């Protein structure tokens, strides 16, 4: 059966329709400001102008918490059969998905918000009703099934099929809420040492270049004399620094690295000996016991303590109130002169490696002897086979 031929008019109309659809899809994706891995419904013109933005993410969450704790918020939660904690959890997830500058473009589905907030989908619906009643959230577009061109635009945006789009929400801060709810108290940051040094330097330079102010009395304490700067200059610490002396003298010499490593390994293999304070107490106990930590690793010390405990018929206590004292008492009752388990293991490995090398040498020599005998036998056989035809040519 031959296909029905298409007229030129129908073909031109189809091409024109396809071109218009592509142009419409590109315009739709460009004007709707799509972002993320899902396609959101376009916002009607003028909707954003009627919807105020939030002050900030932190302030909005504080405002929601304050409104929920008020009698109005508690009554709304009771009327919608939900709790203030569930509503606040849903609000926090909405805030995390919104644009940081405006609080808009919350396009996640109810299932996604419910999964992140740890609540059910019905709880998300009730929480949204409470937030809408409080005036801190506005549904800009209701979610629905996509049209044919919208589905094509969604596939052009993220590359996979999409048949539905979630609602688009905006988080707002109405004027009454902004004027009524005070912002959260923020503790002033303590200036850093660099900031203090910079301020002192600027104050010292200013006092040196401008010792007197034009509108103050020269003898006034605030006239510009850098009393603090002068006291800072003549302080003993600054004098020692100018003389080339070190202002911070080390109190003690640092502990050897092998001693610190042995203490750390000991605590790792014997957690009951972990001190409540600094690990340096364990280092001091190991050093006082006379243990050579260049030979005895922390794992070997823990193994030796376990062996000594088993030989004495003891058991490790579950709780040790004074780990460092207990460790010192145990270490003084053990002889640390013999070889360590690591040394014995290394000696065993060296002996085994030497035996393996000797065995390999014997096998290699045997293979060489066998190869030489086989080569000699083959050479004799070849010579005999080559000399057999020439036997008839020799005179009798």
Report pTM: 0.45
Of 136, 140, 173, nearest in space to 54 by CA = 173
CB atoms within 10 A of CB 389: 8
| Per-residue pLDDT tens over the stretch 293-314 | 999 998 999 888 988 888 888 8
pLDDT value of residue 113: 94
CA angle 23, 26, 27 (to 5 degrees): 85
Q: Please state, in angstroms and as integers, the Cα–Cα distance from residue 129 to each residue in 133, 295, 335, following that order.
A: 6, 71, 76
268 phi, psi to nearest 5 deg:
-65, -35
Reply yes or no on whether the pLDDT at 210 is more than 60.
no
If you compute the radius of gyration of the chain from its CA atoms, what whole number of angstroms results? 43
By percentage, how much of the chain surpasses pLDDT 70?
Answer: 82
Whole-angstrom distance, CA of residue 246 vs CA of residue 205: 25
| Per-residue pLDDT tens over the stretch 326-369 | 888 889 888 888 888 888 888 899 999 999 999 999 988 888 87
Whole-angstrom distance, CA of residue 31 vs CA of residue 8: 34
The mean per-residue pLDDT over the stretch 132-150 comes to: 89
Phi-psi region of 118 (alpha: psi -120 to 50; beta: other; left: phi over 0): left
| Per-residue pLDDT tens over the stretch 25-73 | 777 777 777 776 778 788 888 888 888 889 889 999 999 999 999 999 9
């Amino acid at each position: 059966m031959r296909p029905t031929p298409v007229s030129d008019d129908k073909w031109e109309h189809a091409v024109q329709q396809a071109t218009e659809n592509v142009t419409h899809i590109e315009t739709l994706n460009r004007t709707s400001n799509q972002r993320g891995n899902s396609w959101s419904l376009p916002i009607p013109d003028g909707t954003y102008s009627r919807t105020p933005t939030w002050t900030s993410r932190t302030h909005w969450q504080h405002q929601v918490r304050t409104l929920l704790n008020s009698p109005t918020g508690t009554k709304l939660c009771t009327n919608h059969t939900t709790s203030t904690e569930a509503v606040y959890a849903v609000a926090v997830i909405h805030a995390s998905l919104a644009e940081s500058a405006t609080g808009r473009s919350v396009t996640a589905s109810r299932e996604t918000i419910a999964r992140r907030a740890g609540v059910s989908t019905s709880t998300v619906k009730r929480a949204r009703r409470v937030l809408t009643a409080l005036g801190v959230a506005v549904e800009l577009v209701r979610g629905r099934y996509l049209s044919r061109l919208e589905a094509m635009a969604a596939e052009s945006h993220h590359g996979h099929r999409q048949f539905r789009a979630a609602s688009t929400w905006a988080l707002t801060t109405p004027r009454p809420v902004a004027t009524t709810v005070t912002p959260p108290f923020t503790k002033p940051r303590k200036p850093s040492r660099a900031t203090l040094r910079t301020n002192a330097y600027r104050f010292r330079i200013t006092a040196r270049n401008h010792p007197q102010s034009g509108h103050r009395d020269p003898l006034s304490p605030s006239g510009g004399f850098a009393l603090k700067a002068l006291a800072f200059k003549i302080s003993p610490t600054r004098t020692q620094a100018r003389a080339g002396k070190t202002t911070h003298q080390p109190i003690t010499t640092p502990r050897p690295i092998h001693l610190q490593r042995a203490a750390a390994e000991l605590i790792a293999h014997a957690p009951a000996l972990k001190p409540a304070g600094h690990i340096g107490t364990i280092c001091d106990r190991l050093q006082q016991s006379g243990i050579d930590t260049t030979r005895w690793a922390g794992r070997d010390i823990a193994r030796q303590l376990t062996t000594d405990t088993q030989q004495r018929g003891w058991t490790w206590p579950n709780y040790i109130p004074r780990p460092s004292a207990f460790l010192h008492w145990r270490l003084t009752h053990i002889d640390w002169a013999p070889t360590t388990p690591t040394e014995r293991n290394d000696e065993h490995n060296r002996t085994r490696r030497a035996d393996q090398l000797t065995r390999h040498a014997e096998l290699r020599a045997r293979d060489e002897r066998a190869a030489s005998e086989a080569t000699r036998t083959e050479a004799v056989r070849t010579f005999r086979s080559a000399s057999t035809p020439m036997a008839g040519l020799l005179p009798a």
